Structure 1
Amino acid sequence: MSESPGPPSPAQARTEAESLLAVLERNRRTFAWKTSGVDEAGLRATTAASSMTLGGLVKHLALVETDWLAVKLAGGEYGDPWETADFDADPDWEWTTGALDGPQAVHGLWQAAVDRSRGVVTAVIEERGLDGPASFTWPDGQTPTVRAVILDLIEEYARHVGHADLLREAVDGRVGEDAPDDFRF
């Protein structure tokens, strides 16, 4: 994985935007650490009564990055593989195929989505600010702010970092809240 060019740590951030992006990057980094270094069997492993896998989680968050930031926040296109996936035949396509794809494939897709998102978010904040509108409207007619979309993504990562923590511990015992200082993604 490539080194994250992310924002300063939350403690060093000077602006609200820097603070939000620092928390998002911390969640991304922890997620990357929790899901890195496992083989195909590890990516396919489940725990308890759930069918969730680390591979499915990685591919799901690649879709979430694309959907929430590139499409809903910035008004861009999904691109491949999302536009060619048959979600009608398999509504859980990213979960199903993520459990079957190899480590390089799922992590490469997620890393590409994160890299794209970083550029998108920077451009949208510069253009609209945190109080500016996202590029979509909820069914109730409300348009969320840029801030609200970023906070939703932080919440999505926080939930899935917890899932990754349980799955990773079941695979090989890796536990902990934060990636080591020398971990790079």
Structure 2
Amino acid sequence: MTIERPEPSFSDSEVGMLRSYLDHFRATVRLQARGLTDAQLDQTLPPSDLTLGGMLKHLAFVEDYWFSYNLAAHEPAPPWDTAPWDDDPDWDWHSAAGASHAELDGLLVDAITRSDACLDSVLAADPDLAQRVARPRDPAKGETATLRWVLVHMVEEYARHVGHADLIRQSIDGAMDI
């Protein structure tokens, strides 16, 4: 499996810059999981219960949640549409246990592909990053995220988890420079 990790742009439009950082971090997380066994993807770094497998599944969910569900107003895709969120609010993390690397990486790659398609479609219709997402987060308060907020949030989400992934991967096999 070849994973290309693009370097973030030094000089680009605001959209181009945000997307280049997002693509860089997306690839970094996938690279941190590459080459590990399915059992290693389930390993934690105590006292945390985070795993690299859970991270792949969580990030697939976050991609679908922000780009497909909120930005483009699509209904949740499988497996999110039938997930028992009321029983386990961290179902995305916990349900990854025992899943194969191929399954989890494929789930993330598919979610990224859908996210990019949603983003491309929204930007083609209106390139303004101040546009509001299709689903208000809290209609009672009048709070609705902008496209700019979603992109910045996704960069932040991945950057935070890349740090987690670095620590977990190093604890598994000593790899430091992925």
Structure-2-length-normalised TM-score: 0.91
Larger mean CA deviation between 90-99 and 162-171 belongs to 90-99
User: Offset at 1:104?
Assistant: 0.8
Question: What's the % identity of the aligned pairs?
Answer: 37
User: Offset at 1:116?
Assistant: 0.9
Q: Which residue of 1 aligns with 2:158?
A: 157
* Matches of 2:156 and 2:86, distance apart in 1: 27
User: Offset at 1:14?
Assistant: 2.8
Cα pair 1:60 1:95 within 8 Å, conserved: yes
Runs of 4+ in structure 1 displaced over 6 angstroms? none
The alignment of Structure 1 onto Structure 2 pairs a total of residues equal to: 175
Q: Deviations over 1:142-184 (max 9, x none)?
A: 22211111101110001111111110001111113xx5xxxxx
User: Offset at 1:7?
Assistant: 8.0
Q: Which residue of 2 aligns with 1:132?
A: 131
Larger mean CA deviation between 81-90 and 50-59 belongs to 81-90
Q: Which has the higher contact order (CA 8 A, sep 6+)?
A: 1
Q: Deviations over 1:112-141 (max 9, x none)?
A: 001111111111122232121111223221
User: Offset at 1:74?
Assistant: 1.3
Residue in structure 1 matching 2:15, options 14, 17, 28:
17
User: Offset at 1:8?
Assistant: 7.7
Q: Tell me the amino acid that sits aligned with residue 127 of structure 1.
A: A
**TM alignment of 1:17-166, pairs within 5 A:** 17-129=15-127, 130-139=129-138, 140-166=141-167
Cα pair 1:125 1:146 within 8 Å, conserved: no
Structure 1 residues 72, 7: CA separation in 2 closer, same or farther (over 3 Å shift)? Answer: farther
Cα pair 2:57 2:92 within 8 Å, conserved: yes
* Matches of 1:101 and 1:80, distance apart in 2: 15
Cα pair 1:46 1:167 within 8 Å, conserved: yes
Structure-1-length-normalised TM-score: 0.87
Q: Tell me the amino acid that sits aligned with residue 154 of structure 1.
A: V
* Matches of 1:85 and 1:146, distance apart in 2: 26
Q: Tell me the amino acid that sits aligned with residue 157 of structure 1.
A: Y
Q: Deviations over 1:9-53 (max 9, x none)?
A: 412x43111111001111111111112111111101011201111
Give the unaligned 5+ runs of structure 2: none
Cα pair 1:7 1:18 within 8 Å, conserved: no
* Matches of 2:162 and 2:7, distance apart in 1: 20
